[in-house]
Amino acid sequence: MRQCTGTRRDGSAGVTTQSMSPVRLFSIAAFMLVTSTAVAAGGDRLVIATWNIQELGDGIGSDRRVRGPDDYERLRRYADMLNADVIAIQEIENEAAAQRVFDPTRYEIVLEHAEGSSFNIRTGFALKRGLTFVHHPDYETIGLKDLRDGTDIAISIGSSSVRMLSVHLKAGCIQKSLGSADAACSKLSRQIEPLKEWIDARRSENTPFVILGDFNRRLGQGGDDFLMSLGDSLTPITGGKPQSCPGHAGKLHIDNMLLDRRAQELWDGKFDEIVFSPEDSAFLPGLSDHCPIRVALYFPTRIESGEETVSRTNTVPIKESLEMSFGETLQVVANVAAIFTAVVAVLASFYVLCSRWRRCRRLEKYLRNVKEAAQPGDRGQRSILHLMARLGMTEAEILQASFGSERIRRALATDDTTGRAAAILLEYESPKN
Task: Dump pLDDT digits (tens) for 302-344.
Answer: 544 444 444 433 333 333 333 444 555 666 788 888 898 989 8
Among 267, 299, 331, where does a domain finish? Answer: 299
CB atoms within 10 A of CB 220: 20
Query: How many residues are recorded in the chain?
Result: 433
- Is there a single domain that holds both residue 245 and residue 358? no
CA gyration radius, the chain:
33
Which of the listed residues 276, 299, 322 is the one where a domain comes to its end? 299
**Where would I find the beta strands (DSSP E) of 328-375?**
none
Task: Give the residue among 60, 195, 53 at the shortest CA–CA distance from 111.
Answer: 53
> Within a domain: residue 29?
no
Strands 382-383 and 421-428 turn out to be antiparallel
DSSP code, position 196: H
Order of strands across the sheet with 150-157?
Answer: 132-139, 150-157, 160-168, 209-214, 255-259, 235-236
SS3 assignment, position 401: helix
**Residue 4 lies inside a defined structural domain of this protein:** no
Which pLDDT score, from 0 to 100, does residue 327 have?
Answer: 53
Angle at CA of residue 57, ends 54 and 61, nearest 5°: 135
CATH at 410: 1.10.10
Asked whether residue 261 falls in the same domain as residue 395, the answer is no
Which of 299, 317, 333 is the C-terminal boundary of a domain? 299
Lowest-confidence pick of 11-20, 52-61, 159-168, 240-249: 11-20
Say if residue 12's pLDDT is above 50.
Answer: no
- 34 pLDDT higher than 60: no
Whether 386 is covered by a domain: the verdict is yes
Residue 34 lies in a domain: no
- What distance in Å separates the CA atoms of residue 121 and residue 184, rounded to the nearest whole number? 18
Domain that holds residue 246: 44-299
Q: State percent of the chain over pLDDT 70.
A: 79
Same domain, 49 and 132: yes
**Are residues 224 and 82 part of one domain?**
yes
The verdict on 242 and 355 lying in the same domain is: no
AA identity, residue 169: L
The structural domain count of the chain equals 2
Q: What is the pTM of this model?
A: 0.62
The pLDDT of 254-263, averaged and rounded, is 95
Same domain, 194 and 250: yes
Higher pLDDT, 53 or 429: 53
Residue 359 and residue 277 share a domain: no
Whether residue 362 is contained in a domain is answered as yes
269 in the same domain as 197? yes
**Residue 336 lies inside a defined structural domain of this protein:** no
100-156 pLDDT per residue, tens: 999 999 999 999 987 644 456 899 999 999 999 999 999 999 999 889 999 999 999
Q: Tell me the pLDDT tens digit for each residue of 355-367.
A: 888 889 888 888 8
Structural domain includes residue 24: no
Sheet holding 272-273, edge to edge: 107-111, 122-128, 86-92, 44-56, 293-299, 272-273
CATH assignment at residue 214: 3.60.10.10
* 425 touches 411 (CB < 8 A): yes
What are the CB-based long-range contacts (under 8 Å, 24+) for 375-381? 379/427, 380/427, 380/428, 381/411, 381/413, 381/425, 381/426, 381/427
- Decide if 12 is inside a domain: no
Among 80-94, 249-263, 329-343, which is the least confidently predicted range?
329-343
Sign of CA dihedral 38, 40, 46, 51: positive
Whether 290 shows a pLDDT value over 80: the answer reads: yes
